[in-house]
């Protein structure tokens, strides 16, 4: 199966190129592109990409992507939430522990999930801690380097 970022890029390309009315249609196009994906995963991808449906003015509704300005604003919001909530970041192997201010772990984990970092398999949020599981072969140092590239204001 191809990487998530490649799949998300393909979804964007397909929505721009074709008149897509349903997830079933989009799944068909993705399969032709070589992606094997479940409806649930596609649904999460559409949510992550902020895909909406608009009237085509004739017979129904079609998928549409948000404008570039809206995407940048959303990313800035996630970065702001992350910076506002985190206290420290430490790691061991492919596990990263992010200490947060009390009650901020959900927003920090959500920000990580929505920044689309391919290195991250998933996050688990507690009250003041976020556990991040990284993909095999990705170290905590690799993760921090990519985070600093995405969030230059980030301090360890």
What tens digit of pLDDT does each residue of 50-93 get? Answer: 888 887 677 788 888 877 555 566 778 888 999 999 999 999 99
User: Which token pair is 45?
Assistant: 């991808």
- Predicted TM-score (pTM) above 0.75: no
SS (H, E, C) the chain: CCCHHHHHHHHHHHHHHCCCCCHHHHHHHHHHCCCCCCHHHHHHHHHHCCCEEEECCCCCEEEECCCHHHHHHHHHHHHHHHHHHEEEEEEECCEEEEEECCCCHHHHHHHHHHCCCCCEEEEEECCCEEEEEECCCCCHHHHHHHHHHHCCCCCC
Name the architecture of domain 69-150: 2-Layer Sandwich (3.30)
Look at the chain and count its residues: 156
Checking if the pLDDT of 153 tops 90, the result is no
* Per-residue pLDDT reduced to its tens digit, 1-48: 347 778 888 998 999 888 899 999 999 999 999 998 898 889 888 888
CATH classification number, 4-64, choose in 3.40.50.40, 1.10.10.10, 3.40.50.720, 3.90.1110.10? 1.10.10.10
Please list the residue range(s) of the chain that carry CATH number 1.10.10.10.
4-64
User: Which pLDDT does position 143 carry in this prediction?
Assistant: 92
């Amino acid at each position: 199966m191809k990487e998530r970022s490649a799949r998300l890029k393909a979804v964007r390309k397909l929505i721009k190129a074709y008149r897509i009315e349903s997830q079933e249609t989009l799944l068909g196009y993705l399969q032709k592109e070589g992606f094997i994906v479940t409806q649930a995963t596609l649904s999460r991808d559409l949510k992550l990409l902020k895909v909406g449906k608009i009237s085509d003015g004739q017979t129904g509704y079609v998928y549409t992507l948000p404008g570039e300005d809206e995407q940048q604003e959303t990313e800035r919001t996630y970065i702001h939430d992350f910076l506002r909530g985190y206290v420290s970041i430490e790691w061991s192997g492919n596990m990263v522990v992010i200490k947060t201010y009390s009650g901020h772990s959900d927003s920090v984990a959500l920000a990580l999930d929505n920044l689309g970092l391919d290195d991250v398999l998933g996050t688990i949020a507690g009250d003041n801690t976020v556990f991040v599981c990284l993909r095999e072969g990705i170290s905590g140092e690799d993760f921090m380097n990519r985070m600093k590239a995405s969030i230059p204001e980030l301090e360890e």
